[in-house]
Amino acid sequence: MAEERSLRFAADVVHLASVRDFATQAADELGSQVDRHALALIVGELAANAAVHQAGEAELVVRVHADGTVDVEVVDDDPTIPAPIVSDPMDPDGHRGLQLVQDISTSWGVHPEGTGKRIWARLAPRP
């Protein structure tokens, strides 16, 4: 059975550090053994997408499964379904967030939900 923690946050980049901190603290409290830096990076990228591409609030869910796997989800009101973009590392506009999520997580995806979407990523515990 999985245990989870959630946080609603204003979709604004000024809140990204506190969203990342919440995620790593929640994962620790729930006994996760995933790499905290990888978790913070993935949460930061997913929350940043919510902050940049929509207004209002978003929700972060951190779920730790009995096998140590961690799922993170961000739910927002933007109906646009994103896809990873392969871009030049020197591109000042970035656009590499979902590519990083894809490279670091064991799996990820996005699903329409209500008027927006739920984007998620899964991390395996450290060996």
CB atoms within 10 A of CB 125: 15
> How far is 56 from 34, CA to CA, in rounded Å?
30
Question: pLDDT exceeding 70 applies to what percent of the chain?
Answer: 91
Four-way CATH pick for 3-123: 3.30.1490.20, 3.30.565.10, 3.30.420.40, 3.90.25.10: 3.30.565.10
CB atoms within 10 A of CB 91: 10
> How far is 90 from 83, CA to CA, in rounded Å?
20
What tens digit of pLDDT does each residue of 76-107 get? 999 988 877 776 666 656 667 888 899 999 99
Tokens at residue 97, please? Answer: 């967030």
Q: Nearest-CA neighbor of 78 among 58, 94, 64?
A: 58
Does the pLDDT value for residue 62 go beyond 80? yes
What tens digit of pLDDT does each residue of 32-42 get? 999 999 999 99
Tokens at residue 63, please? Answer: 């779920």
The model's pTM is 0.89
All structural domains of the chain with their residue ranges: 3-123
